[in-house]
Amino acid sequence: MGYAEGRRNIKDARCKMKVCCFGTKGLETCADCPDYSGCGIILGFQGKSGFKYKKYRQSIEFIRQNGYAEFLKMADTWSYAYGRLERPPG
């Protein structure tokens, strides 16, 4: 937080995904990236072991298929950084 407002410098971010998506490409998230499927940064992140990394991947793929509005409807009900994703009907 604070990168868009200039309170923080994106060049100082430790997260490679933030630097690439927001800093270099001007995107909100990796879900918007045309290079998503072949990106070494995101593939490395998603390749980590742990349930949360699987859930983060599912979230990005859900956003790519259904958009941010549908994702945010579901995310508003979560207690943690991830939760259940159900495809909208129709």
- Residue 50 carries which side chain, given as an amino acid letter? G
Q: What is the pLDDT of residues 73-89, one digit of tens each?
A: 988 988 887 788 876 55
Q: What is the pLDDT of residue 66?
A: 93
- Choose among 81, 90, 85: nearest CA to 64: 85
Q: What is the pLDDT of residues 43-71, one digit of tens each?
A: 998 889 988 888 888 999 999 999 999 99
CA distance 78 to 39: 28
The contacts of residue 29 (CB under 8 Å, 6+ apart) are: 21, 60, 63
CA distance 72 to 38: 26
pTM across the whole model: 0.77
The contacts of residue 18 (CB under 8 Å, 6+ apart) are: 3, 10
